[in-house]
Amino acid sequence: MMITIINWTHNLKTSLNLSEQAACHKALYDCILPRLSGIDNTGFKDILKDLFQGEAVVDTKVRDIEPALVEVMAAYGFISTDKIMQKTYQMHDLLLNHRSLILLGTAGIGKSSILRM
């Protein structure tokens, strides 16, 4: 996990020309937050706020794909809510830095559907 965070920090720093602190903040947010849920998610966000006081997480969404993503979601019968869009962007970011991805969740929440998109 630590190597992934270090590599992602380096990639963000060089590709987006971010400060080391901003890149580290974003890397921690991107690499750890998708693995958490509920109260753990909230607690981790609070820890990041304390560590990186006054610095917001850098938004690295690929906005060029948003219209196409909304169109594909509509074709599959999904409503493009903020939460679905956020999860889709998280998956996109993770796939930029990992060779594989494991989707976990209860039955019927859209794991197979998001893979088809």
CA distance 19 to 47: 20
User: For residue 100, how many other CB atoms are within 10 A of its CB?
Assistant: 6
Residues 80 and 105 in one domain: yes
Each residue's pLDDT tens digit, 75-107? 888 888 887 787 787 787 777 767 778 888 888
Boundaries of domain holding 113: 61-117
- Of 9, 42, 59, the one marking the end of a domain is 59
Residues 55 and 65 in one domain: no
Residues 114 and 102 in one domain: yes
Residues 29 and 67 in one domain: no
Residues 49 and 70 in one domain: no
Cβ atoms of 31 and 1 within 8 Å: the answer is yes
Q: Specify whether the backbone of 36 is left (phi greater than 0), alpha (psi in -120 to 50) or beta.
A: beta
Q: Where are the alpha helices (DSSP H) in the chain?
A: 2-16, 20-32, 38-51, 66-75, 82-97, 111-116
pLDDT at residue 115 in the model = 77
CA distance 52 to 54: 6
- Of 15, 38, 59, the one marking the end of a domain is 59
Each residue's pLDDT tens digit, 17-34? 888 888 888 888 888 887
Residues 8 and 48 in one domain: yes
Residues 23 and 52 in one domain: yes
Confidence grade of residue 3 (pLDDT, cut at 50, 70, 90): confident
- Of 59, 76, 94, the one marking the end of a domain is 59
CA distance 12 to 102: 23
CA distance 66 to 102: 23
Tally of domains in the chain: 2
pTM higher than 0.75: no
Residues 1 and 37 in one domain: yes
User: For residue 114, how many other CB atoms are within 10 A of its CB?
Assistant: 16
